[in-house]
Amino acid sequence: MRARALVIVMAMMVSGIGAARAETEEEDTAERYSCGKPKGRFEVNLKDEVALRDLVAWAMGFSCKRFVYASSLAQRSAKLTMITPGTLDAGEAWAVFEVGLEAMGLAAVPKGSVLEIVESAQAKDAALKIRKSFPDGGGGLVRVLVKPKHIGVEELRAAIEVVKSRNGVVTALPQLRALLITDDGRHVAAMKTLVQDLDRELAGAGLWVIPVEHRSAPALIEVLAPLLS
């Protein structure tokens, strides 16, 4: 009888330990995936090696955004070491999140109200909203339509190819006199100054009509063409 009572007590203890462990795991999971936008600045407290799951859970915690990514992607992606002293506001923290994704070779692609995490090389194939103005920055993927007025499309494309990221794509549309640029926000924002410097009217350029009185226009063109070339 005493042995049976001892077995029952031990079973109750094991059951209690298991229940407590399960409750602790549920609390950890609930805390990991809890969402609440901070009103002020906050510290970043992440472990030494940050996996994709940890990075996304952290970003979700302060942004309340929805994320989707393939489980195989989490297994392939590298881990990060994040050293972020001091405090950050939500905007600064989101910039850190985007840099972290970039370091992993990943990108966040908007799909309605959800952000899908994909490999950077595949992000350019996503159905992105087409902008007509340059962004101020950011690491998210953007697509911009540029219509140069004073420079050729191919000339501008060649210049932008130099400053785009490795996974960026610059597509020339000569018949439409336009360029379609797909790249991360930081690289596209940096292109704005380049486009403004190159696509401007040359000083002194213009169109004049000069009446010819004593010589035919074709004959005068033959004389002036070598001087203007």
Residue where the block lists tokens 């229940």: 19
Please indicate, yes or no, whether residues 143 and 161 belong to a single structural domain of this protein. yes
pLDDT of 16 reads 52
Residue 183 lies in a domain: yes
Please indicate, yes or no, whether residues 102 and 142 belong to a single structural domain of this protein. no
Domain of 141: which CATH number? 3.30.1370.120
Residue 87 lies in a domain: yes
Residue 132 lies in a domain: yes
Alpha helices in the chain (DSSP H): 2-32, 52-63, 71-76, 90-103, 120-123, 153-163, 185-198, 217-228
The total number of structural domains in the chain stands at 2
pLDDT of 8 reads 46
List the structure tokens of 163: 């400053």
Residue 197 lies in a domain: yes
Residue 88 lies in a domain: yes
72-81: long-range pairs with CB below 8 Å, 24+: 73/106, 73/117, 73/118, 73/119, 77/51, 77/52, 77/104, 77/105, 77/106, 78/103, 78/104, 78/105, 79/49, 79/50, 79/51, 80/49, 80/50, 80/55, 80/104, 81/48, 81/49, 81/50
Residue 228 lies in a domain: no
Residue at which a domain ends, from 92, 120, 148: 120
- Average pLDDT per consecutive 10 residues, the chain (229 residues; last block may be shorter): 48 48 47 65 86 93 93 85 90 92 90 91 87 86 94 94 92 95 92 92 63 77 77
Please indicate, yes or no, whether residues 80 and 113 belong to a single structural domain of this protein. yes
Please indicate, yes or no, whether residues 84 and 65 belong to a single structural domain of this protein. yes
pLDDT of 229 reads 64
pLDDT of 2 reads 52
* φ, ψ of residue 213 in degrees (nearest 5): -105, -40
User: How far is Cα 92 from Cα 63, in angstroms, rounded to an integer?
Assistant: 11
pLDDT 10s digits, 102-158: 999 999 998 888 999 999 888 888 888 899 999 988 778 899 999 999 999 999 999
**Enclosing domain of residue 186:** 128-201
pLDDT of 27 reads 47
pLDDT of 46 reads 84
Domain of 113: which CATH number? 3.55.50.30
Residue at which a domain ends, from 72, 102, 120: 120
Contact in structure between 157 and 172 (CB atoms under 8 Å):
yes
Residue at which a domain ends, from 71, 90, 120: 120
To the nearest whole percent, how much of the chain has pLDDT over 90?
44
Residue 81 lies in a domain: yes
Q: Which residues pair with 167 in a beta bridge?
A: none
pLDDT of 28 reads 47
